[in-house]
Amino acid sequence: MGRRRASGTVAAFVGRRQELRRIALLAKEQRTALVWVHGPGGIGKTSLLREAERHLVAAGRPVALVRVDQLEPSPAQLVCAFATALGVRPPARLRALLGHRARPILMLDAFEVAAALEGWLADEMSAAGESGGLVVVASRDAPSREWRGPGLAERVHAMPLENFNPAECETFLRGSGIARRHHARLASFTGGHPLALAVVAEDPDGALPTSAGAPKPDLLRALLDGLVERSLTERQRRALESATVVPALTQSMLQHLTSDGEALATFRWLQRRPYVRCSPEGIVVHDLVRDVVESELRWREPDRHAALSARAVERYCDELGRGELASRMRASVSALAWMFCRQPSIRRTFEAAAHDLYVDELRDDDVPVLARLVDEVDGAGARRAWERSLAWQRGATTVARDARRRPRGMWVELVLAPGEIPADHECDPAIAIAHAEMSRLGLAPHERGSLQRLQLDCATRRDIGPTIQLRVAHDARVLLTTPNLAVRWIVAPSGFRWARVWESRGYVELPRPFEMSGKAFSLWQLDLRGTRTAQYVCAAYAGAGAVRSLPSNTEIATVGLGDLRAALRAARDPKAFARTSFAARFTGHGAPGEVAFRRTVERELAAMATTSRGARWKSAIEATYLAPRGDKQEAIAEALGLPFRTYRDNLTHGLAELARRLSEDAPRAAAATGAT
């Protein structure tokens, strides 16, 4: 794992010689092979891929290195990213790139965020045959059973990474300019974990969190807390915090977020840190470091965290609004989507969603499967409408697949023009209503409307979480890439539970319900006339001045997690509770508002604790809010006997579940509380 010296140069790559030799040998073979590098976060997977890339490029081989966590999880996006990196026209399939006469090496970093694509990758590797291309995957997860089939198992080379051995620790610390007297102490404390070594090398004279023994589960958090408190100036700390709230930090973004008159010098300082990497988009903080620093900022200074997020959103909105460079617009949209996904209330849902579903194009063998799906869920009328749309706009259908490549649902996005009604539209009342609305609104001939249907199988429809990520990405793409889009409609069963989400995004339910196969449907309309579409996307998916939250559970909660935290903190302070959004809902039921709220929370927590998972969530909430001792969260986690990250996960999930319960039951529960 290389480390940037104070001068800005990179220390020599340390260790992994056997792994590098193995990759180089496999790259020379005449048949397609896969190297699967895996290990925990901070172990050096990205560093190994970059060092292997450097060696292979020096040997004259074409190499394309793509980070999966920066792309929409779809085969088309991966193929396009590889083709762009190689400077060739994107083919229809990955197998075509693997079979290219130049025998390119394709590298996929952070593949754990798109594990559903593992089966697709195995299919493409099988189809590539003996073409001679090499794929290198880096993931926190080991390869799955997908690779055990005939013709694949012998071509897959698993490469687990371990911590540095004592000699490698010595080499790393010496190359980092650390005095020899510190080597044994730092190597022993970190256990040779490369990222932990890099962090302690920033402050070798500092006191370590513990004097002896194996590293604590929250080693990195303890190290970073000490580093931030002891070694960083205020300007440096602000720069590091700024880098954690955006996907990639540029010098101009740092200037915008901090109003730092010496942003260039601070930016160059940040570039030299061992826990960041420099990408074409800017400085990217290692995800483990990002988790620690951002969660600390969010907890200690929530107002400052919200202000930084708001300023970042403002900057991305400005870039979208100018629309000067398509590449910058795409980068801004990606950044907004990234910020949306980082919210604690939905982050775990988004991570799970990447494992569950991915987006793909429609194939011929999908049609009968999807036709049965639509028939079962929405009836024969909806099925006939979709089948007609295939003849009219086949490319309007996008398929959502699971890890076994099975269709689990689809999006249908029909583009409508004023006056151009398809001849067979009678089978789809939604099209007739949409065209009537275009006439009523007086759309110009060049303006367009977009009509969307979402179809999911029963199992996926019951679990709404895994579809949120795909829907957000799809909606943002449609809104930004459909020329002259003036109005958009969403077709949904009447009373569908996503209604609150659409209302919050500016959609209005039209008073013209219709029936298909005996089922009632509604049309939700978004009028974009006179609206800058880019600004709407920013407001809808990033919020007005701050990142907006969506719940991750199957029911759309009306209780915000920020409001709930504030109410819990004020539950024993009548004056503070009166200033919260919960005061009106829990006042006037025969008990003071804060008392009624506290009793209701205790009742809901007791109900939550009927499962082992709910009991863990209850303990985290009680220890943090209901029995406060002024402890830091680290002390609370230690008192509960939990690693800090496990404690925070329990707390976040528990708050989301409590919010859902209060959303559904608050009025009834408050009344019952007052009666007792």
> At which residue do the structure tokens 């402890």 appear?
631
Under CATH, domain 17-160 is a member of which superfamily? P-loop containing nucleotide triphosphate hydrolases (3.40.50.300)
Nearest to 404 by CA among 152, 144, 154: 144
Tell me which residue of 464, 529, 465 sits closest to 492, measured CA to CA: 464
Pairwise CA distance, residues 100 & 96, whole Å = 6
Rounded distance, CA 218 to CA 341, Å? 24
What's the whole-number mean pLDDT along residues 312-334? 67
> Would 17-160 and 354-542 be classified into the same CATH topology?
no
Q: How far apart are CA 88 and CA 640, in angstroms?
A: 55
State yes or no: pLDDT of 587 exceeds 70: no
Query: CA distances (Å), 25 to each of 60, 95, 108, 610, in order?
Result: 14, 21, 19, 56
Domain residue limits, the chain: 17-160, 166-230, 234-342, 354-542, 561-675
Burial class (CB in 10 A: 0-12, 13-18, 19+), 365: exposed
pLDDT of residue 216: 44
Percent of the chain with pLDDT over 90: 18
- pLDDT 10s digits, 339-396: 766 665 445 444 444 456 788 889 999 999 999 999 988 888 889 889 988 988 988 9
- Residue whose structure tokens are 């060696």: 55
For the cut 60, the answer to whether the pLDDT of residue 667 exceeds it is: no
CA 262 to chain centre: 32
User: Residue 290 corresponds to which tokens in the numbers above?
Assistant: 């990002």
Per CATH, the homologous superfamily of domain 354-542 is: Gcn5-related N-acetyltransferase (GNAT) (3.40.630.30)
For all residues of the chain together, what is the average pLDDT?
Answer: 78
Query: Which of the four pLDDT bands, split at 50, 70 and 90, describes residue 668?
Result: very low
Taking residues 477-488, report their average pLDDT: 80
Mean pLDDT of all residues in 592-616: 85
Residue type, 543: G
Other Cβ atoms less than 10 A from the Cβ of 227: the count is: 20
Per-residue pLDDT of 87-100, as tens digits, reads: 888 888 888 888 88
Of 38-47, 374-383, 580-589, the least confident: 580-589
Q: Is the pLDDT assigned to residue 3 strictly greater than 50?
A: no
Give strand pairing partners of 453. Answer: 412, 491
The amino acid that residue 56 corresponds to is L
Q: How many other β-carbons are positioned within 10 Å of the β-carbon of residue 585?
A: 20
Residue 423 main-chain phi, psi, to 5 deg: -60, -30
Question: What confidence tens digit (pLDDT) does each residue in 301-316 have?
Answer: 888 888 888 888 778 8
> How are beta strands 519-527 and 508-509 bridged, if at all?
antiparallel
Model confidence, pTM: 0.64
